[in-house]
Chain A
Amino acid sequence: MRTKILVAALAAMTVLVGPGCSSGESDTKSDAVTPEELIGLFRFTPGTVEGGVVSGTWFRMVQPGGTVEAGPYMPNGDSAVPGGEATLLEPGSEGGLRSGGYQSEPNPAFAEGNSLAGSITKPTKFFAVEFGTSTNAVDPQTQRSVAVPSVVNKGGELTANLSAWGASWNNQEFNQGAPKPPEKEGAQVPGAAQVKQVWDWVSQKWLNLPKDVAGEGPSATGTYDADTKKFTLQWTSLIVGGPFNGFTGVWHLEGDFEPGDAAPGAAPPQAGAGG
């Protein structure tokens, strides 16, 4: 009887104390959850639809008052998806999204309303007019300076700052970032900006520093398999201002990550980002 009790106590101790004592395994887990910035190309898998199931890279737009899960969605008559409830995307000329650098829209940005921004995704028809995507240091809609796209992997879970993500369609610009940059600055009292500059000078602040880089709201999130380098990224972004004010873009990217160097001229990382 005494032997049985001793064995049971040892077994219980092993269960309770065991995990804490296996320092090697603990270290491995700790390493696995250390945040790691992924810099390079997120090469997209083209969007497809089979049997009504959408996979790969795609986009959809939720109408005001709708929900991401149930819609109603804008029905894109040009989409291969039944009902046009999602728009399938193909990789652009660079193959996908580059982190650590911007993929700015060209100038001019449009030809007869069709977007010429084709670096990230191939311009795709949306209501008979092609829309494109780009990431810009100064967001074309809000005119705010926004952070360079960045993706951080923490134990297979991705968190991405895609504030700079924008869509362009029919001579219109829409910030579709996550976190969301502040909306475009409203009307300014004449002379107020100059007075502020004088005040900044008097108070010895640097003039014309980039402002409002930090976005608001949730970041893009996703998954990453370090072995296969397969990734997914998804986010929602409310359109603020312009003709589609109140609509919500839903983005889903997936494909393969290709590590690489940060693009030359990329903005320095924000304070605190590097740890």
Chain B
Amino acid sequence: MVASPARSTVAVSDSGLPAYGDHVSSHAEEAAAHRRGGPRWPYLAVIGIGVALVVVPLLLGMFNRAAQGQQMIATFAPYMSHEQVDSFRADLGVVESARQNVLAVQANGQTPTGQYPYVDGLVRDYPSIDRDMSNMLDSMSANIDNFWQLAALPPFGLLPWFFALPGLVIVIAGVLGLRRSGRGKRTPVVWSVIGLLAFGLVAAPFAFGIFAKAPAGSPLIEDFRPLLTHEQVRKVQGYFVTLAGGQGELNSRYTKGILAEHPDANVAEIGTLEQRWQPMTSEFAGLIGVMNDNVGNFAAVAALNDTTTPLGFAAFDEFGWFFIVPGVLIALIVGLGPIRASQLRKGDT
């Protein structure tokens, strides 16, 4: 609060406080110091952007969600190859061949005596199981390239730090700059640091290929959305019960029954299923386990992608701009604020 000139004049004459002239001169010095240190608004503006870079990832829950995305990518990686998907398809084919074998045995009148409810269930239900599992494998196959594009980005868990750490440094630099500027000191180091960080933010999406790779996330998320749910996992677990029950009965009783009554019966494809059963179930169990354990992780990644839906775009599609926009804004502030002020000072002299 600045005292009125009249009061100052009275106070000076009676109490020995600074004279009005001194007071005016102090203000003039302060103003001069500000002129030397430059205007305050550029510091305040970069501090605001720095705070946003720290706070927005926190508000969006980006730290946890990105870590969950990283875990999802790591655990799905062994299954996201054309070789692995082809292996799954081949195994589905083995089951279908065994089913056809059972149908042929039945058509030949070689059905063994007795009740075989699990074999009957397998024969009845497998076509729909095959169809659903094949659709799932189609989705996986169609997104293998997308998956590896995402996997080629820097580790997901680190991405929020790419905003938060520069943001933190920018805030610290801005506050330091503001204080030095207030004391009439120039702040070339502060602005150099801020400028460097602005350059880093602008360069990061190009250096990491974010513009090219991140948009692969949206189609993958859309295709996996119906697959990575507890309902779908439960359904696939049910398929496993059908397959395991059917195979178990084929292996333990059905085939023996056929061969006991018809030693020359052809059960080759049922035998192939028996041979392939252990690796097949191991691989499918692994996949179902990864699906189950990533339902929550997937939901987190999808939520991250959906955070910008109210703005009319998916976050992964425009992810690079999240670096460019603050970087360019800071660069503009650096250009309009301190550099412009420096040019003006040079003009004055």
Instruction: Report which A residues bind B (CB closer than 8 A).
Output: 63-64, 74-78, 84, 112-114, 127-129, 170-172, 184, 186-191, 241-247
Residue among B67, B70, B233, B285 with max Cβ neighbours from chain A (10 Å): B285
* Interface contact A170-B248, CB-CB below 8 Å: no
- Provide the bound-state CA to CA distance between A49 and B157, in Å: 54
Nearest residue, chain A, Cβ from B121: A75
* Interface contact A128-B233, CB-CB below 8 Å: no
Instruction: Report which B residues bind A (CB closer than 8 A).
Output: 63-64, 67-68, 70-71, 118, 155, 157-158, 161, 233-234, 237, 240-241, 244-245, 247-253, 274, 277-279, 281-282, 284-286, 288-289, 292-293, 296-297
When distances are taken between beta carbons in the complex, the residues of chain B under 8 Å from A64 are: 234, 237
When distances are taken between beta carbons in the complex, the residues of chain A under 8 Å from B253 are: 77
* Interface contact B67-A243, CB-CB below 8 Å: no
- Provide the bound-state CA to CA distance between A187 and B64, in Å: 7
A77-B247, A170-B282 are known contacts. Are A242 and B292 too (CB-CB below 8 A)?
yes
Task: Tell me the smallest distance from the CB of A167 to a CB of chain B, in Å.
Answer: 13
* Interface contact A113-B278, CB-CB below 8 Å: yes
Q: List 25 A-B contacts (CB under 8 A).
A: A63-B241, A74-B241, A75-B245, A77-B245, A77-B249, A77-B251, A113-B282, A128-B274, A128-B278, A128-B281, A129-B282, A170-B281, A171-B282, A172-B285, A172-B289, A184-B293, A186-B68, A186-B71, A186-B297, A187-B68, A188-B67, A189-B64, A190-B157, A190-B161, A243-B240
Nearest residue, chain A, Cβ from B63: A189
A74-B244, A75-B245, A127-B281 are known contacts. Are A246 and B237 too (CB-CB below 8 A)?
yes
Please report whether the interface of chain A is mostly helix, strand, loop or mixed according to DSSP.
loop
For the A-B complex, the count of residue pairs with Cβ-Cβ distances under 8 Å equals 110
Please report whether the interface of chain B is mostly helix, strand, loop or mixed according to DSSP.
helix
- A129-B282, A245-B233 given. 8 additional CB < 8 A pairs? A63-B241, A77-B253, A84-B248, A113-B278, A127-B277, A186-B71, A190-B158, A243-B285
When distances are taken between beta carbons in the complex, the residues of chain B under 8 Å from A63 are: 241
When distances are taken between beta carbons in the complex, the residues of chain A under 8 Å from B161 are: 190-191
When distances are taken between beta carbons in the complex, the residues of chain B under 8 Å from A243 are: 237, 240, 284-286, 288-289, 292
Task: Tell me the smallest distance from the CB of A127 to a CB of chain B, in Å.
Answer: 4
- Provide the bound-state CA to CA distance between A128 and B71, in Å: 32
When distances are taken between beta carbons in the complex, the residues of chain A under 8 Å from B245 are: 74-75, 77, 84
- Provide the bound-state CA to CA distance between A188 and B69, in Å: 11
Task: Tell me the smallest distance from the CB of A198 to a CB of chain B, in Å.
Answer: 17
Counting from the closest, the 4 A-B pairs by CB-CB distance are A77-B248, A187-B71, A243-B288, A243-B289
When distances are taken between beta carbons in the complex, the residues of chain B under 8 Å from A77 are: 118, 244-245, 247-253
